[in-house]
Chain A
Amino acid sequence: MLTCQEVTAKASLMVDGELGFRERIAVRIHLMMCVNCRRFARQFQALVSSMASRNRLAAETIVPEFVDGVMQSLYRARESSSIPPGRDGE
């Protein structure tokens, strides 16, 4: 029987789907019986998932002004001849 401390130590392997079969069963049995670890596991999973959504959220809110700003600075860099000539217009 796993202790609560052992279960929390395996939390990352759990959310990353990297527990072996026996470990997964052992964790699942512990979670069925332990309200504290169940709460911890649910909140841990929510936190990890929320980090991924930060990126998706950011991806949805890319501002055209940022793209324009980058393109402007690329044009300037090109004009200041830090780029070998003759690479454009192909």
Chain B
Amino acid sequence: MNKNETSLVEGLRSGRTKAFHLAVTRYSASMLATARAIAGHANADDIVQDVWLTVFERIDSFEGRSSLKTWLQRIVANRAISYLRSRPPEVSRPGVEEDQSASDWFDASGSWILPPPVWHEDSPYALLAAEDLQDCIDKHLLDMPDSQRNVLVLRDIQQMNFAEICNELSLSASNARVLLHRGRMRLMKMVNHFEETGSC
């Protein structure tokens, strides 16, 4: 923890309103991004609000072994995941584990059977600006197996490093890398499909 964060945590521990306001202002955006990626837009606000109440009551259990931000992200991720699990079965996501090896793209010698489709949006900015595509990414994030999505969210959206991710999710480094690559390949296939058909 840096000095800045240490004094913020002290303020939270003493229950100072100012400290809470600062923390909520500083960290809510990335917490919302995590909650949205895991549990969908409609539920993210409630989840993050709920997490702040927990933090308010249990700040004493923060031991400072990770950064405050990491600690908050872990609580949000856990809360969002248990929210998903608590949903009735008829709306729960199908837990299909598709083949993400992309072996159907290649012939027996490992060469492309067809060239990969050209994307209309092939810069990060253009991808972000395509709203339908972003909605489609949200949908596919929700359809992913939890293990893939969690690694993908923590790494690619939250930009956490592998050591932190393995720690949070109790995964080996090699396992985390496999899950991450599968998740990214799943999104690649989704964008390919979107670019070719114009639909999600």
Contacts and interface: CB of A to CB of B under 8 A. Distances in A.
Contacts of B105: 5, 8
Contacts of A87: 14-15
A4 B111 contact: yes
B25 A90 contact: no
Interface in A24-68: 35-37, 39-40, 42-44, 46-55, 57-62, 66-67
B180 A12 contact: yes
Interface residues of A, number: 48
Interface string A52-89: 11110111111000110111011001100011000110
In this complex, which of B33, B103, B118, B125 has the most chain A Cβ atoms within 10 angstroms of its Cβ? B33
Contact of B15 (A50, A55, A83): A83
Given A39-B116, A42-B122, A74-B53, A11 B181 contact: yes
Contacts, number: 143
Contacts of B5: none
Contacts of A59: 29-30, 33
Interface residues of B, number: 57
B3 interface: no
B17 A88 contact: yes
B20 interface: yes
A73 B33 contact: no
Contacts of A50: 124-125, 127-128
25 contacts: A4-B106, A8-B105, A12-B180, A12-B181, A35-B115, A39-B118, A40-B116, A43-B116, A43-B122, A43-B188, A46-B119, A46-B124, A48-B156, A54-B37, A61-B29, A62-B29, A62-B32, A66-B28, A71-B21, A77-B53, A77-B57, A88-B15, A90-B14, A90-B15, A90-B16
Counting from the closest, the 3 A-B pairs by CB-CB distance are A3-B110, A87-B15, A5-B110
